[in-house]
Amino acid sequence: MWNIDTILTYLNIDLSRLRDVFLYDPQAPMIFSSGLFLWLFAAFVVVYLLLQRRTTARLLFVTLFSYYFYYKSSGTYFFLLALVTVSDFLIARFMERTTAKWKRKLWVTLSLVINLGLLCYFKYTNFFGACWASFTGGHFDPLDIFLPVGISFFTFQSLSYTIDVYRKEITPLSNLLDYAFYVSFFPQLVAGPIVRARDFIPQIRRPLFVSNEMFGRGVFLIMAGLFKKAIISDYISVNFVERVFDNPALYSGVENLMAVYGYALQIYCDFSGYSDMAIGIALLLGFHFNINFDSPYKSASITEFWRRWHISLSSWLRDYLYISLGGNRKGKIRQYMNLIITMFLGGLWHGASWNFVLWGMMHGVALALHKGWMALVGRPKGERPHGIRRFLGMLVTFHFVCFCWIFFRHAEFSPAVDMLKQIAMAFRPQVFPQLIVGYWEVFALMGLGYVLHFLPDSWERGCTKTIIRLPLVGKAVLLVALIYLVIQMKSADVQPFIYFQF
């Protein structure tokens, strides 16, 4: 007599192991490039298509899947996502019902306290405690506080909604499900991009429609992101960059310098790869996100770099922090100070460490100096240099960004200083040929990554159009071939995205 246990035994299926796959594993948070996500997403799409004409049911299904996705990333801390969602939804509703400015200000202040309070507790308690102990000469024992994945992203996203309601730039939602869908939408939930309510909310209840162009562009972005993350970023990280950064004093200056160039490419491919996949998945589901990276290492100034790098964060800091501080409305000196303060807080947003603070301050000072220089020479705002001037600007900007990445990557100052000492005092260029031979696969991928990055934008548009014109079978074959390549090149467990820690 056949029963379920007999069938499972015959098929060699262990229910306990199968159950463990679907439970939260702190050692293996679910990410887009994992095999489990690919299988879950395939099942998700089937249900999503079945619900395409039932808008409310579809929104509820996606929201529940998004919460499960977050559970697989941070365990039971998904309740924080629910807390932020419910509190900001109600606060926005209360703001709409009052015309008194002081009451509206009180409500938006409450939203700031809740969101930034959660962020400060989970991310900065130990940092501030250690700073206070150092300042007062006391002792502080770090608390065992888990940092929920993506808390910096969904708190900032929810804050943009309440602040926009306070400024009367948008009308608050009347349906909690719609707001929960907006805050928790899984493609961008744990590592951005930070999606503005004004851009996303009008799309929520539109009839589901995915054009051939949207589908093709979505497939292209998913493939591009997977290639950047799982092939270039993970491979050069595991096989070269991490080794040097973990022990810079053991390597020559030329090896350290190449590791810095490698990390610049690694963090770009890692984070822009996630953004590409998030934007691509959203397109397949019928939603549009704004671009989050625009070939940032092509920038000829630090100002241009921040218009191309992590655009959703830099524009958030500009609109909700820099402008709130006064922007450029209160004189040049105040403008420069506002830039430095904004980037100081932007550095602190990335992590509870003085290294991140220094990284943000260096970028803030560089932005202020560039603004001052542009004002001094009288160049029009937004003017971009050309020819040799642009080339030299790109060279200087890239190396300044790389210099700052050294402090961003290291958790403490001493290894960052060791790396700079090795580059300055023990360069040993004669080991370069041996280095290339010994790590030829790594440097081949680095070369490919930088070549692809600096290709003209028209090439990317041409590749996108080619993918769009391919039949469905052709798109599927390309995607399967890429997944096979990822599996063949994987030399360790799936590497978490760098920005998961922020």
Q: What are the catalytic residues?
A: 350
Q: Are 160 and 320 in contact (CB under 8 A)?
A: yes
Which residues, including other chains, have CB under 8 Å from residue 501's CB and lie 6 or more apart? 147, 351
Q: Are 340 and 365 in contact (CB under 8 A)?
A: yes
Residue type, 200: F
Distances (CA, A) of 1 to 6, 87, 159: 9, 55, 59
Q: Are 278 and 187 in contact (CB under 8 A)?
A: yes
Residue type, 405: W
Buried b (16+ CB within 10 A) or exposed e, 474-499: ebeeebeebbeebeeebeeebbbbbb
- How far from the centroid of its chain's Cα atoms is residue 189's Cα? 10
- CA pair distance 13, 21, nearest whole angstrom: 12
Return the structure tokens found at 457.
């934008």
Q: Would you give the end-to-end CA distance of the chain in angstroms? A: 54
Distances (CA, A) of 421 to 125, 243, 250, 263, 435: 33, 17, 12, 18, 19
Q: At what angle do helices 354-377 and 332-350 cross, to 10 degrees?
A: 150
The CB-side HSE value for 309 (13 A sphere, CA atoms) comes to 22
Which residues, including other chains, have CB under 8 Å from residue 482's CB and lie 6 or more apart? 223, 226, 227
Which residues, including other chains, have CB under 8 Å from residue 164's CB and lie 6 or more apart? 170, 196, 197, 198
